[in-house]
Amino acid sequence: MVEKKLKYIFFFTAIPLLIISTAFASDLSLHGFVQGNYSLNTAGDNPDGKDFKWSEERAQLKLEAASDPFRLFIKGDAFHDNIDKHSILELREGYADYTSEKWDARIGRQVITWGVGDLLFINDVFPKDFEAFFSGRPMEYLKKGIDGAKVGLYPGFVSFEFIAIPHFEPNNYPDSNRFWMFDPLAGITNRETQAPYQDFHKAETALRVYRDVAGFDTSLYYYRGFSRQPSIMPDNPLAPTKLTLFYPELSVYGASAQGRALDGVLSFETGYYDSIQDRQGVDPMIPNSQTRYLIGYQRQLWEDFTVGMQYYCEYMQDHPAYVQNLPPGFPQEKRLHELASLRLTQFMIHQTLRLSFFTFYGLSDGDYMMNPEVKYNLTDSVWIAVGGSVFGGGKPWSQFGLLAKNDNVYGQMRYEF
């Protein structure tokens, strides 16, 4: 409730600021869109008995005012959810920029993207909306904004990007009313969630250091904060009656490089996930420390046709300690988790028609996700898209196997102005 109030306060104070700024702005712009987005089940009803994963009408406004060296930007959505029968006002982004020759700063709600992965995130530790991704919403809604400050420094030999986040924003996972999900403790309904912090003394911090190295965009990363996926702590490991969802402390140390090679674009990324609260790996309720790796390759094989491939793995540290302390009845994770992805994209009819296919395949568990999509630009302002999300394979608790009963087809239509 407090978070929603803060969003509304920021939204309604940012709009007057932008209006006032027109008095001195040398550049003012207004853009936006209206959109319909619908996702229909193909593998059965939702747990709540309804047919749709997503059904909404949405309008967005983007206002920008600039007068060097300042810039103000706000992106707000208003939408009606046809499933839950309510309307919502949402601040997507709202920030102020200051830019100079050697440094710049941004304060407010902003979307931050780090790393080189295609839908695989190692050093991009910022919040995601996976329900949006699995229910067939436009890809821009996968990323969530953070409320914080970003400062860039450019001394010449290398560049720095520092981020401070005083308000924690978790990932958003599929809603249990709309998605069938594996839950080993489904019978325990007495649950509460602990926020990781409520003040500034435990604010998240992140640093990126980057420069060009031999034609490759190279970055080093550091993050200190919390896991954005909650862990579960039972009140009694043997006979639990209450579950507490909490966000363990986490540090991430990583690196990435991306550049032209082998007639295409080659990408590398790695990260070490330091589980601060359980570095010995003896607490099965807290994720063990991990080392994560990614290698990707993208190439245009012929005109307007591109193929992209990725190999990704997670290596769990202290796996024997994890196995030894795992409570009875809980599914056991493997020490090495491997995943591959493939993206195919073909443009046609003067690039107004896009045919795309994206898939994940779990090399460790045999589970998969497939996402075919057709998008057509009717005019410069109007486009429609039709696609689907198909899940399956593996164990009921594997990454995509747990979504096996949630196949859906979706449609999107947008008018932009």
The pair of structure tokens assigned to 193 is 């969630």
Three-state secondary structure call for residue 318: coil
Q: Which residues contact 171 (CB under 8 A, 6 or more apart)?
A: 127, 128, 129, 130, 144, 228, 229
Question: Around Cβ 324, how many Cβ atoms within 10 Å?
Answer: 11
Low-confidence ranges of the chain (pLDDT < 70): 1-26, 198-200
Q: What pLDDT score does 199 carry?
A: 62
CA dihedral sign of residues 359, 371, 117, 251: negative
The pair of structure tokens assigned to 290 is 């991990």
Interatomic CA distance for residues 97 and 64, integer angstroms: 11
Residue whose C-alpha is closest to residue 71's, from 100, 113, 91: 100
Digit-coded pLDDT (tens) for 359-392: 999 999 999 999 999 999 999 999 999 999 999 9
Burial of 199 (0-12, 13-18, 19+ CB in 10 A): exposed
Interatomic CA distance for residues 90 and 11, integer angstroms: 8
The pTM is what? Answer: 0.92
Q: Which residues contact 347 (CB under 8 A, 6 or more apart)?
A: 304, 305, 353, 354, 355
Q: What pLDDT score does 4 carry?
A: 46
Chain length of the chain: 417
Per-residue b/e over 34-56, b at no fewer than 16 CB within 10 Å?
ebebbbebeeeebeeeeebbbbb
Three-state secondary structure call for residue 133: helix
Q: What pLDDT score does 26 carry?
A: 67
Helix runs in 58-202, H state only? 130-134
Interatomic CA distance for residues 257 and 123, integer angstroms: 12
Q: Which long-range contacts (CB under 8 A, 24 or more apart) does 175-178 make?
A: 175/131, 176/47, 177/46, 177/47, 177/48, 178/46, 178/47, 178/48, 178/50, 178/53, 178/54, 178/83, 178/131, 178/135
Tell me the CB-side half-sphere exposure of residue 163, using CA atoms within 13 A.
28
| Contact (Cβ atoms closer than 8 angstroms) between residue 109 and residue 128 | no
Any idea what the Cα angle at residue 163 is, between residues 160 and 166, rounded to 5°?
165
